Each structure stands twice: as structure tokens, then as C-alpha cells.
Structure 1
Amino acid sequence: MTLPKELLELYKETNGVYGMYGIAFIWAVEQMLKENVSIRLIYKDMDSLISLDDYLFFSDAGNGDLFCYSNVNDETIYVWNHEDQRCKGVASSLEEFLNGWITGVISI
């Protein structure tokens, strides 16, 4: 999966987006790569409702749920629920996601 344009543009300017106390709103490139490999290894032998290969994870909610892009839609941001392995759209763009997640408009 290739990086969505808006995420690529963000990574050209900064290696992640961080809040107070080092909270990552967008993971650093290295962490994004590590987390995507890890999640695929963990779930590869499980019966999954969705193929994780169809998603690019770039942030977490702090509760096990992960934020991601789908390779089907290059703009929409989804939250992947680690308990039921379902994805739900939460924002129509990275900018909307960041604004909503930082201000609490988007909550999990």
C-alpha cells in the first residue's frame, strides 16, 4: 500500500504529530512501519472480518483501537476496533481527523 497523499505531505514536513507529554496524534514513520508489521503478524492466523492488508495504520486511540486509511478510499480516516475487528469512518480527511482528535470532537 502506498502512503495517501495527505499523509505523505505531512511526513515530508514532520516525523509525526505530538501533543503534550509526548502523546502521538500521528506516529513517527518508524513507529508506523513497526506497528503495521506487528498488527499483521498478530492477526495473520486469526479469522478476521477484514483483511488488515487493506489498511494503513498511522495512530492509536490509546485503548487498543487504531486509526487507519483504507486502500479503497485514499482520503477517509477509519478507526479499527481491536475487539470486534471492524472499521468505522471517523473523518473525511487527515486535517479533519487531527482537528477532531486533538479537540475531542472525535472520541472513541
Structure 2
Amino acid sequence: MLIKHLQTLSNDLTLSGPASGEDIDQLERDLGIRCPDTLRSLLSETNGILGEYELGLLWDIERIKDDNTAFRQSEDFKDLYMPFDNLVFFGDAGNGDQFAFPILRDGNCRDDVFVWNHEDDSRSWVAPSLEVFYEWWLTGRITV
């Protein structure tokens, strides 16, 4: 259902086929999290969304798993950045900044979307939900 709304906001979306429920469950096990229901639902509709200029609006499950694991385990990043264990990245801004859900202590993700700034390591709130994030991002209300 979110896809139909996104398609009203942009004609430049490339959608992948849906992810399986097992693949989504495995992602959660691999990262030790529980995705927001909106992310689970969107992944079950499409396993990735590319925007204009092939911007990663929604990474596929493999990239979500690989990038989050790499960020959490990188020895170099431990010296450069605050820990990433409390975020799950799902997309990027095309400039090095990435979008993420915050992870609560119990492993559940909040619905809010934050942006991580790769230059100064700040983490800033940008939207109260995935739906609002995409609407604001695709209409230019969010700029990073």
C-alpha cells in the first residue's frame, strides 16, 4: 500500500520484487532487532527501491544486513564514530549520509527516522514514520 503512495510522489522509482517473510525474519535475527511494522510491510512488497539517479531509497535485505553488520563491526569506525548498535540503516541520501531507525533496548525499532551525518557523526530526527519520511524526502521537505 505504501508503494502506491510513493508512486504518486515520484515517477522515478525502480522497485524490486518482494522479499519473503523468511528473509525478513532472518534479517531481524541476523541484526538482533525487530523491524518497524511499516518496514516489514514495505519489504514484503518490494525488496528495494531506487529513486532518481539510482538513489537507495530502500536498500534490499542483503544490503541492510551487510551494511549494518559492517558498521557495527568495523574496527576503524570504532575510532571515528559513536557506536552504531542503536541504529538500523535502511537507505541513503546519495551523499554519504544514511537513514535509520533507532533501536530500543529490547531490540524493537522505533518508527521515527533519523539521518546519520557521515561527516560529523551527528544523528538527527527527520520524520515520525517511514511513510512521512518518504513523503517529505520525495517532496524536498527533508534536505541533507
Give the alignment's TM-score, normalised by structure 1: 0.87
Q: What's the C-alpha RMSD, in Å, of the aligned pairs?
A: 1.7
- Cα separation, 2, equivalents of 1:45 and 1:87: 16
How many positions carry a matched residue from both structures?
107
Equivalent residue, structure 1, for 2:79 = 46
Equivalent residue, structure 1, for 2:93 = 61
Cα 1:85/1:15, change in 2 over 3 Å: same
Deviation at 1:22, TM superposition (A): 2.9
Tell me which of 83, 95, 104 is aligned to 2:131.
Answer: 95
Deviation at 1:48, TM superposition (A): 3.3
Deviation at 1:47, TM superposition (A): 5.4
Residues 55 and 92 of structure 2 are in contact (CA less than 8 Å); yes or no, is this contact kept in structure 1? no
Cα 1:41/1:95, change in 2 over 3 Å: same
- Cα separation, 2, equivalents of 1:52 and 1:102: 26
Deviation digits for residues 22-77 of structure 1 (CA, Å, limit 9, x no counterpart)? 3221111111111112222335531533x210000001111111100001361110
Residues 87 and 103 of structure 2 are in contact (CA less than 8 Å); yes or no, is this contact kept in structure 1? yes
Tell me which of 32, 35, 52 is aligned to 2:64.
Answer: 32
Larger Rg: 2
Q: Structure 1: 5+ residue runs without aligned partners?
A: none
- Cα separation, 1, equivalents of 2:88 and 2:119: 18
More strand by share: 1
SS in 2 for 1:36: helix
Tell me the percent identity.
36
Equivalent residue, structure 1, for 2:45 = 13
